[in-house]
Amino acid sequence: MKWNTTDVELYITAKEYVDTALVPLIPISLDDRMKQLSSMSEFLSILSMEIEKKFKGRILLIPTFHYVMDDEKKVEGLQIWERKLQQAEFNHIFFLTSDINWKKEESYLSSSLVWIPAINLESLPMEQAREVMKQQVEQIISLFMNEWKKKD
- DSSP secondary structure string for all residues of 87-132: HTT-SEEEEEE--TTHHHHGGG-SSEEEE-----GGGS-HHHHHHH
Q: What is the CATH number of the domain that holds 25?
A: 3.40.50
- Kindly report the average pLDDT of the chain as a whole number: 93
Domain count, the chain: 1
At 126, the pLDDT band (50, 70, 90 cuts) reads confident
Comparing 4-8, 94-98, 130-134, the range with the smallest average pLDDT is 130-134
pLDDT digits (tens, 9 = 90+) for 49-79: 999 999 999 999 999 999 999 888 999 999 9
Quote the pLDDT of residue 101.
95
Residues of the chain above pLDDT 70, percent: 99
The residue segments making up the domain with residue 106 are: 5-151
Checking if the pLDDT of 151 tops 80, the result is: no
